[in-house]
């Protein structure tokens, strides 16, 4: 499990995220129309019980129920779309901090290099060297996937790096070890689009390699002695924050 600092910082971010979501909904949603749609939905649900022996009224209530459900979803869609992109970007960045942990001294991991389509791994003969990292195995080539893999081991609690040698030059990838809050760079990429997701290291030069990654161990956070997935805790705290403060922001769900 990760440290208490991870838990407290993630909790603070989740609360801030819940407040930001309420602010967006408060500015962009129409509370009166949402309340009207909810009242109409409840009224048509009650009609099922009141007019159980009147098929024509039941069919009418079903039609109205579908109509008002669609209106309710439409009213919620606008604010949801506005908040979706920032939340998606935030979750990707949080995964790099709370989803995995650095290697411990003496711990092993896999380093994988993904080559461009059409690459001949036998001709390229990629090799790997390490700084403060021991390369424990020769390259394992997977031609169908255009990948080469190595097992490496951290030599100490100080972070190091690996150096991938190919005919066009040598490319480095950091290997993070130790403990504490840190932004893990699990992958160094060449594509600009992928770099937006993995921005911790500079983009790879165009050397026939799409990315170099390291398989950091997955992690959980410590919540009162319980091991909890970071995403579960983040979503739970955000939701509770929104429920607790929704009236103060004048938001209707």
Going from the C-alpha of 69 to that of each of 61, 76, 82, 99, the distances in angstroms are 12, 11, 21, 36
If you ran DSSP here, which 8-state letter would residue 116 be given?
A: P
Residue 103 has pLDDT above 90, yes or no: yes
Residue 247's pLDDT band (cuts 50, 70, 90): confident
Residue 171 has pLDDT above 80, yes or no: yes
**Nearest of 34, 9, 12 to residue 253 by alpha carbon:** 34
Q: What percent of the chain clears pLDDT 70, i.e. is strictly above it?
A: 100
Question: What is the model's pLDDT at position 216?
Answer: 95
The C-alpha atoms of residue 247 and residue 242 are separated, in whole angstroms, by 9
Residue 250's pLDDT band (cuts 50, 70, 90): confident
When comparing pLDDT for 80 and 15, which is higher? 15
Residue 126's pLDDT band (cuts 50, 70, 90): very high
Residue 152's pLDDT band (cuts 50, 70, 90): very high
Give 60's contacts (C-beta < 8 A, 6+ positions apart): none
Residue 53 has pLDDT above 80, yes or no: no
């Amino acid at each position: 499990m990760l440290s208490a600092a991870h838990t407290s910082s993630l909790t603070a971010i989740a609360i801030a995220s819940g407040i930001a979501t309420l602010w967006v909904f408060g500015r962009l949603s129409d509370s009166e129309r949402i309340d009207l749609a909810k009242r109409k939905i409840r009224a048509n649900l009650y009609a099922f019980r009141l007019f159980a022996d009147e098929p024509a009224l039941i069919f009418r209530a079903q039609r109205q129920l579908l109509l008002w459900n669609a209106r309710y979803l439409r009213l919620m869609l606008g604010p949801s779309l506005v908040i979706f992109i920032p939340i998606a970007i935030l979750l990707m960045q949080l995964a790099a901090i709370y989803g995995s942990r650095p290697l411990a001294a003496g711990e092993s991991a896999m380093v994988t290099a993904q080559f461009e389509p059409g690459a001949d791994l036998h001709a390229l003969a990629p090799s790997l060297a390490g700084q403060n990292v021991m390369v424990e195995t020769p390259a394992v080539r997977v031609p169908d996937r255009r990948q080469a893999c190595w097992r490496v081991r951290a030599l100490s609690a100080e972070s190091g790096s690996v150096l991938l040698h190919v005919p066009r030059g040598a490319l480095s990838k950091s290997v993070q070890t130790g403990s504490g809050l840190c932004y893990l760079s699990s992958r160094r990429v060449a594509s600009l689009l992928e770099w937006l997701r993995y921005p911790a290291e500079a983009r790879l030069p165009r050397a026939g390699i799409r990315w170099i990654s390291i398989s950091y161990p997955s992690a959980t956070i410590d919540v009162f002695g319980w091991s909890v997935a970071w995403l579960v805790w983040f979503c739970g705290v955000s939701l509770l924050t929104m429920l607790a403060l929704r009236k103060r922001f004048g938001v209707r769900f």
